[in-house]
Structure 1
Amino acid sequence: MEITTRSIRSLAYRCEEFLDDRGEPLSIGYSGSLALCILDAIYSTGSHPTAVDNVADRYIARRGRADGAKSLRYSIAAAGGAEVWARKVIRNLKPANVQPGAMLRAEVVDRATRLMADHDIDTVDDLLAAVGDEPSTGRHANEVARGWWALPSQKSGISWRNLLMLAGSDHFEIDHRVQGYIGEVAGFFVVTTDDYVLELIDATADFLGVEGRVVKQIVWQVSHRRLLPDPKRESFVFPYGLEDELEPEAEGWDSVFDRELCAEAVDRNSTLGPEEDLGSDWMTPYSRPGTTGAAPF
């Protein structure tokens, strides 16, 4: 399916929220600490982003931002084991799954550090070098990836792909969440094949003047709810027909986001109705202020 100007600008608008004025990503990553990558990757599945931020912040308060996998393992051992470490250092006793008697995620973290030690991996650079260009999923996946999936409650591979995104890897898997997010951005009648997703991400990166890896990281973290967009901003949807107001050519995308032009197009298509009617419930899975729901850890 053809990539339209509208779909590129729509994804660019979503990504722009997570770029600073210099085009640097505001998405989550820890290029200087494999310890923080491991913590974030394991605690982020099924957790509210605030809970994961709290885990990382508490570890940083104790250990700083430069620990590798070896230092993380030493930290757990020095505290007296995973349970004591979970209670006293990161103050999070969340289990690895919802089954009665499930081990703590802190224990999974400890086992992940042992896996890294078995493969002589301590830093983010060590991890990226060990994974290299080998597949990170599937039957021919890298040996480190297979070892990670064998960790308790990690066989889905989501935490492994989280780890790679946090470490800044070029690996990017298009799963059902990514496809669903891109489908919402591009329009309900778009068939989001893998080729379409990759082509749209590349075109959007070119439009924004950033590396494709930056857009991939934002798309992954938003679609997997590690990043929560501003709900008011997220409700804005480019009207169908906006591409008629813009240049139809796919060559030489202007890297400057034209807000005035988009605003004029919205005014001319004001019959679409209130912005809040255009939102998508699945994009706001967590309780908001004033609603009921479990508080984050």
Structure 2
Amino acid sequence: MEIKTRSIRSLAYRCEEFLDESGRPRSISYPNSLALCILDALFMTGSHPTAIDNVVDRYTARHGGADGAKSLRYSIAAAGGSERWAREVICNLKPAHTQPGAMLRAEVVDRATRVMADHGIDTVDDLLAAVGDEPSTGRHANEVARAWKELPSQKSGISWRALLMVAGSDHFEIGYRVRGFFDRPFGSFPRMTDDEVLELISATADYLEVDDRVVKQIVWQVSHRRLRPDPKRKEFYLPYPLDDELDEEPDWWLGVYAPEVRNEAGEWSSIFEPEFRTASFESEEALESQRAFEPKGEFAPADEDETDWAAPYPLSGTTGAAPF
């Protein structure tokens, strides 16, 4: 399947919400603290993003934002054990799973620090060096990954992949959640293959002038609900027949990622105005194709100019866990 300009623009629009005005990522990462990486990864599954942020913020308020795995283990020991540490330091008694009698996630955190100690890992750089280019999950996974997945309730490997994401690793595995991220907005049928997903990510990174890793991190964290898109932000809509080339930009499209200009001119928002829903660069054949699928008769809108051509961005759901 050929990667279309429409898909690149759609992915760029979804990613630019998590880039600042200088193009730097606002996704979640802790390059200077393996302790925060471990906390974020182990509290991510089944938790509201606010609850994870609260755990990280409370630990940072007590110990700062540069602790390694060894300092995290010392913090738990100094508090008198994982249960007391959970009550007094991070103020979170969430269990590792939903079955009765489950241990606290704080205990899993303590065991995770022992895994790191067993493999001589204390910093983020130590972790990335230990993992290297080996697979992060599966039969041939790195020995650190296998040890992590043996932790209570971590067999799925999601928390391990979350750990690599916040640590800044190049590993990027396309699971069902990532596939779901690409299913709806990109008009791809049949479903995109892994190679096509990676090609689209690479093309979008070039378009935004950022590293591939930045787009991968945003995609993974949004698809796993660690990042929350603004539900009030309008969805980027381009007519389905549009398969134009990048060098045929309309006048109202900037063609490059220039947030300071976009913020002044409001160019990106202009695509949601009714007069832009049928852009001047569409061929007559494309327009006729689109009209064939528009509602007719009693189902047609009373005033075509009042049609809601931009549905609101879907709200990122929660798993029901209270953001305590």
Q: Deviations over 1:239-292 (max 9, x none)?
A: 32444496469xxx9533676377357533276942674654xx52139xxxxx
Matched-pair contact (CA < 8 Å) for 2:40–2:52: yes
Q: What letter matches 1:284 in structure 2?
A: S
Alignment-derived partner of residue 308 in structure 2: 274
Alignment-derived partner of residue 161 in structure 2: 161
The worse-fitting range, judged by mean Cα deviation, of 91-100 and 226-235 is 226-235
Tell me the distance in 2 between the aligned counterparts of 1:22 and 1:8: 20
Tell me the distance in 2 between the aligned counterparts of 1:28 and 1:180: 21
Answering whether residue 256 of structure 2 is matched by residue 229 of structure 1, we say no
Q: 1:69 to 1:199 in 2, by over 3 A?
A: same
Q: What letter matches 1:296 in structure 2?
A: P
Larger radius of gyration: 2
SS in 2 for 1:172: coil
Aligned residues: 287
The worse-fitting range, judged by mean Cα deviation, of 181-190 and 213-222 is 181-190
Tell me the distance in 2 between the aligned counterparts of 1:143 and 1:245: 45
Alignment-derived partner of residue 256 in structure 1: 257
Instruction: Return the offset for 1:188.
Output: 5.3
Q: What letter matches 1:286 in structure 2?
A: T
Matched-pair contact (CA < 8 Å) for 2:48–2:321: no
Answering whether residue 52 of structure 2 is matched by residue 49 of structure 1, we say no
Matched-pair contact (CA < 8 Å) for 2:72–2:113: yes
Alignment-derived partner of residue 220 in structure 2: 220
Alignment-derived partner of residue 200 in structure 2: 200
Alignment-derived partner of residue 283 in structure 2: none
Tell me the distance in 2 between the aligned counterparts of 1:65 and 1:18: 21
Tell me the distance in 1 between the aligned counterparts of 2:103 and 2:244: 56
Q: 1:20 to 1:109 in 2, by over 3 A?
A: same
Tell me the distance in 2 between the aligned counterparts of 1:146 and 1:43: 19
Q: Deviations over 1:4-27 (max 9, x none)?
A: 001000000000000011111000
Q: What letter matches 2:63 in structure 1?
A: R
Matched-pair contact (CA < 8 Å) for 2:277–2:309: no
Tell me the distance in 1 between the aligned counterparts of 2:256 and 2:235: 23
Matched-pair contact (CA < 8 Å) for 1:69–1:113: yes
Matched-pair contact (CA < 8 Å) for 1:245–1:265: no
Answering whether residue 292 of structure 2 is matched by residue 285 of structure 1, we say no
Tell me the distance in 1 between the aligned counterparts of 2:24 and 2:111: 34
Q: What letter matches 2:57 in structure 1?
A: D
Matched-pair contact (CA < 8 Å) for 1:93–1:105: yes
Alignment-derived partner of residue 209 in structure 1: 209
Q: 1:185 to 1:126 in 2, by over 3 A?
A: same
RMSD: 2.4
Matched-pair contact (CA < 8 Å) for 2:49–2:227: yes
Q: What letter matches 1:274 in structure 2?
A: D
Tell me the distance in 2 between the aligned counterparts of 1:104 and 1:134: 31
Alignment-derived partner of residue 290 in structure 1: none
Instruction: Return the offset for 1:159.
Output: 0.2
Alignment-derived partner of residue 34 in structure 1: 34
Matched-pair contact (CA < 8 Å) for 1:5–1:243: yes
Alignment-derived partner of residue 323 in structure 2: 296
Instruction: Return the offset for 1:233.
Output: 1.3
Tell me the distance in 1 between the aligned counterparts of 2:62 and 2:150: 29
Q: What letter matches 1:263 in structure 2?
A: S
Answering whether residue 140 of structure 2 is matched by residue 140 of structure 1, we say yes
Matched-pair contact (CA < 8 Å) for 2:149–2:155: yes
Instruction: Return the offset for 1:236.
Output: 3.7
SS in 2 for 1:27: coil
Alignment-derived partner of residue 70 in structure 1: 70
Tell me the distance in 2 between the aligned counterparts of 1:195 and 1:255: 25
Matched-pair contact (CA < 8 Å) for 1:134–1:142: yes
Q: What letter matches 2:137 in structure 1?
A: T
SS in 2 for 1:232: coil
Tell me the distance in 2 between the aligned counterparts of 1:7 and 1:179: 14
Instruction: Return the offset for 1:190.
Output: 4.9
Alignment-derived partner of residue 61 in structure 1: 61
Instruction: Return the offset for 1:238.
Output: 3.2
Q: TM-score, normalised by structure 2?
A: 0.82
Tell me the distance in 2 between the aligned counterparts of 1:118 and 1:263: 56
Tell me the distance in 1 between the aligned counterparts of 2:232 and 2:272: 19
